């Protein structure tokens, strides 16, 4: 007669196997949709029904490598300025709204792209699209918001690069690695060029690259492709093209025929400082040990009162006591304090 427990275990194993196989098939081949709006905006939809959350990301095909020579840091600077508001949505309204509904938002810049994203409950997707579509071409910049934000970027450069030996070394290595390619530029920019960026520089860069036909919208989460397409056409679809962006023509690297070396002076100074601290600490420890040995030796030597008292003791007894004291001192206190094996003056 078949055992009921074995049958139950076999059935449970079969259900787990089918479920796992279905999960693996779903993860291996997500139902990704891709389409393009009439104004040139590309849209990618990645359904994920595990939680009622949606991630809304807008990527622009522009980064530090697309900056004009002499104006490094402009792509990153404009990323900061994109949060300064539009005529319809004043400064801070977008971020405050996302925060009030329990969402998250941020932005990032690289050599090849700049991205802006928000993560909220799925029912707020249309609102996110409306805000993002509005600032795609409607950004309003004045000197009152641009100049303070430039100081914020300079302080970020201080924190992330100037006060970070590892980041400074990486920056110098990138600059030495590429002879002609714009990847040699730091994404945050060279400080002396960041300091000279202006409102006009930011607006010119904005009008040159921020246009629907130079962006990709990615929506992932508890959504369907048809739903996203309807919302995108009702929001982003109303944004007109600002300009035609030509295909990228990046300078090419010449043949690498010479070696290049980047010495890390700040790291070398740190090593010298650390070595000096170690040596001074060792010297202090050795001096302390020497003083300790000296105090112990002085305590074992007789003073004037002791010598006077001993003069009254018979010679034979005195000699015996001195002999025993000498033997005791020789077993406890060497004549010269030993130098520790880990300290050498040479």
Q: H-type helices in the chain, by residue range?
A: 4-28, 74-81, 93-100, 125-137, 143-157, 165-177, 191-194, 199-209, 225-235, 265-299, 304-311, 315-332
Is residue 79 flagged as an active site residue?
yes
With 0-12 / 13-18 / 19 or more C-beta atoms within 10 angstroms meaning exposed / middle / buried, residue 16 is exposed
CB 124 within 8 A of CB 105: no
Query: Strands across the sheet with 42-47, in order?
Result: 33-36, 42-47, 215-221, 53-60, 114-121, 104-109
Spatial CA neighbour of 133 closest among 224, 231, 45: 231
Of 79, 105, 132, 171, the catalytic one is 79
Residue 162 to residues 91, 191, 321, Cα–Cα distance (Å): 30, 9, 72
Distance CA(163)–CA(160), nearest Å, equals 7
C-alpha Rg value of the chain to the nearest Å:
37
CB 211 within 8 A of CB 241: yes
Strands 53-60 and 114-121: antiparallel
Full DSSP string of 176-207: HH-SSSGGGS-TT--HHHHTT--HHHHHHHHH
For residue 123, what is the DSSP state?
Answer: G
Residues serving a catalytic function are 79
């Amino acid at each position: 007669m078949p055992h009921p427990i074995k049958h139950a275990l076999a059935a449970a194993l079969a259900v787990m196997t089918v479920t796992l196989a279905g999960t693996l098939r779903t993860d291996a081949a997500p139902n990704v949709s891709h389409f393009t709006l009439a104004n040139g905006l590309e849209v990618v939809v990645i359904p994920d029904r595990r939680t009622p959350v949606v991630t809304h990301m807008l990527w622009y095909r522009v980064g530090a490598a697309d900056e004009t020579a002499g104006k490094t840091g402009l792509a990153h600077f404009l990323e900061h300025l994109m949060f300064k508001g539009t005529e319809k949505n004043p400064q801070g309204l977008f971020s405050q709204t996302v925060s009030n509904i329990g969402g998250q938002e941020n932005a990032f810049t690289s050599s090849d792209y700049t991205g802006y994203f928000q993560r909220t409950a799925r029912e707020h997707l249309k609102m996110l699209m409306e805000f993002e579509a509005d600032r795609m071409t409607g950004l309003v910049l004045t000197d009152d918001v641009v100049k303070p934000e430039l100081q914020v970027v300079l302080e970020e450069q201080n924190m992330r690069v100037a006060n970070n030996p590892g980041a400074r070394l990486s920056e110098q290595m990138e600059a030495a690695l590429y002879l002609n390619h714009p990847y040699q530029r730091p994404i945050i920019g060279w400080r002396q060029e960041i300091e000279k960026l202006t409102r006009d520089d930011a607006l010119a860069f904005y009008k040159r690259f921020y246009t629907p036909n130079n962006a990709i919208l990615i929506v992932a989460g508890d959504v369907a492709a048809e739903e996203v397409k309807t919302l995108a056409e009702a929001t982003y679809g109303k944004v007109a093209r600002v300009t035609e962006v030509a295909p990228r023509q990046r300078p090419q690297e010449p043949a690498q025929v010479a070696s290049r070396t980047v010495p890390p002076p700040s790291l070398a100074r740190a090593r010298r400082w650390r070595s000096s601290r170690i040596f001074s600490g060792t010297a202090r420890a050795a001096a302390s040990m020497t003083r300790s040995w000296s105090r112990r030796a002085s305590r074992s030597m007789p003073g004037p009162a002791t010598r006077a008292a001993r003069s009254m003791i018979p010679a034979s007894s005195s000699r015996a006591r001195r002999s025993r004291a000498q033997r005791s001192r020789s077993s406890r206190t060497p004549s010269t304090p030993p130098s520790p094996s880990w300290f050498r003056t040479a």
